[in-house]
Homo-oligomer: A and B are copies of this chain.
């Protein structure tokens, strides 16, 4: 599959790597900015986004966010203080606490998603076919890369 492994990447590859870097940077700025408009930090926005889909135990949140559970405690604390998230006991296991978005939390998450769709949509400039091919290329990248 790979035409090269440890060998020097060619100019084209370097350029693509660079472009990906730019896209990543742009995406991040937009994300943080959208979060800030709702008085949230990036971490809080990501966590709230997860909880807007379904309640999750703290442990699962930590896994999804790829950080230590002790870190999640603080983020949930702050969102809870703002009334966007609440902690509920898990009826099946009294050790676990389920974090769940409140109605207001889901509302904020929805607003955030929409702000992001706008922000993320430099895609709008691409035709249907181009989007199709971009989708396939990105899928391939994600598959190959581990």
Q: Identify the A interface with B (CB < 8 A).
A: 1-5, 9, 12-13, 15-17, 19-24, 26-29, 66, 116-117, 120-126, 128, 130-135, 137-146
Complex Cα–Cα for A57 and B122 (A):
32
Cβ of A133: which chain B residues have Cβ within 8 Å of it?
133, 137
- Contact residues of A: prevailing secondary structure: helix
State the number of copies, please: 2
Partner of A23 from the list B15, B24, B121, B123 (CB cut-off 8 Å) is B24
* A24-B23, A27-B20, A139-B19 given; A146·B122 CB < 8 A: yes
Complex Cα–Cα for A17 and B27 (A):
10
Contact check, A17 vs B123: say whether CB atoms are below 8 A apart.
Answer: yes
Partner of A9 from the list B117, B137, B144 (CB cut-off 8 Å) is B117
Contact check, A2 vs B137: say whether CB atoms are below 8 A apart.
Answer: no
Residue on B with the closest CB to A118? B6
Contact check, A130 vs B138: say whether CB atoms are below 8 A apart.
Answer: no
Partner of A20 from the list B29, B120, B132 (CB cut-off 8 Å) is B120
Q: List 8 A-B contacts (CB under 8 A).
A: A2-B124, A17-B116, A20-B120, A21-B120, A23-B23, A125-B143, A126-B140, A133-B133
Cβ of A121: which chain B residues have Cβ within 8 Å of it?
9, 13, 17, 145
* A17-B117, A122-B145, A145-B121 given; A138·B3 CB < 8 A: no
